[in-house]
Amino acid sequence: MGLIAHSVQWVRDQSNLLIPRALLRIDIENPSSSIHVSSDGATFLPQQNDQLARTEIYVNLFNPGVIEIKEGEYTIGKYTLYARQAENGKSKLIDYSCAPYQLQFEGLDNDYMSVGCRMERLGKWGHERPRLMITWSTTNYTLKDGTRPPFRVSMQENIPVLLTLVDPNGREQKVKIKAQLPKRLHRLKTALGFGPYQFKSESGTESRPNRIAGAAMLYGRLELTQSSSLRLFDAVVAEKSLFNNAGFYFAYELADALDSRIEIVPLLGFQALYFRYDNEHPTRNGIILPQGAEIAYKNAFGFENYTLIAGAFYLSSSSEKYENYWVRWGKRIFWELNYISWKSGQNHASMAGLSIGIPFVNLF
């Protein structure tokens, strides 16, 4: 019996917990036809000939349980796997799903652990409070009544969880779990942005080349479900000419990768435009229908709670052309590189620059 080299996999279970598993090879010499292996409530029937029976089963390295070899109704072998203590201090895998809540474990400093989190909303829409569901597993420990991991914790306030674990030798270990939860879970979040932009405008035969102008932005996001939302933005820049661009979009998670750290989000909706070259030229305004998408990279490059977003809107028709490209980096406060260009007939406006975004008002 032994673990097969290079067979370790990390898999996520239904409770959002990443668990390491590995293939265990079991060889039984001189087997009978009634030989079988029991593990974790399942029965495995080995391949065999007259000299050898062999089977390979995945075992949860954090909670392998007892593996029994049976011949008919009799148990002829029983095996239990144990994990060594970590020596390099890198023993805990606290999933990025827990990063926003400053989750801490005290008392299991040298033991392997895996922790996953899921935030739930409780209460009426607009008055919702948080409940953090924590699922975690560790090696070689059970509760005092023998219950094996994974363990689940429900936290609704910033009050620690205290418990006592027992190792295979009967020694007790005190453990404390702490987290920081917000008092409310708001569905509508807004932010303000501002920064210097290069602004270019044209109308008929007159034009104003690129020049520095002040730009202001408003961002809004209303969460409908865990994977869909309504998005709002408004960008305005002015320096002799005035250009205002607002949009309203439905966003939903189309696909994800790298354990949901990368998400592809289509943006479906419409925009409103207002352009005034000066008081002597006619004002242009109206509704346009550019569609777009963005790619979000959460906890980008290992920076907890930081998100890198790249997105675009595009429209090209015989009478109008519109382009908008942006790259955003940050968490509550963020930086954004943005480029917008609109052209219709003899009217053209474009803006490009770097802005900083800060949280504004949270509602509902």
Instruction: Compute the average pLDDT of residues 78-85.
Output: 76
User: How wide is the angle at C-alpha 346 spanned by C-alphas 200 and 280, nearest 5°?
Assistant: 75
pLDDT score at 98: 86
Amino acid occupying residue 26 = I
**Per residue in 248-297, pLDDT tens?**
999 999 999 887 889 999 999 999 999 999 888 888 999 999 999 999 99
How far apart (Å, rounded) are the C-alpha atoms in residues 141 and 62? Answer: 9
**Per residue in 227-238, pLDDT tens?**
999 999 999 999
> Which overall architecture, per CATH, does domain 188-363 show?
Beta Barrel (2.40)
CATH topology match: 2-80 vs 188-363: no
**Per residue in 86-115, pLDDT tens?**
666 556 677 788 888 888 888 887 778 888
Distances (CA, A) of 24 to 2, 29, 39, 67: 6, 16, 11, 10
How far apart (Å, rounded) are the C-alpha atoms in residues 41 and 297? Answer: 39
> pTM to 2 decimals?
0.78
3-class DSSP string for 149-203: CCEEEEECCCCCEEEEEECCCCCEEEEEEECCCCCCCCCEEEEEEEEEEEEEEEE
> 322 near 289, Cβ under 8 Å?
no
The domain made up of 2-80 has a fold known as: Immunoglobulin-like (2.60.40)
- Going across the sheet that includes 113-122, the strands are 92-94, 113-122, 129-138, 151-155
Please state the domain extents for the chain: 2-80, 92-178, 188-363
pLDDT score at 91: 60
CA torsion, points 13, 257, 102, 149, in degrees to nearest 10? Answer: 10
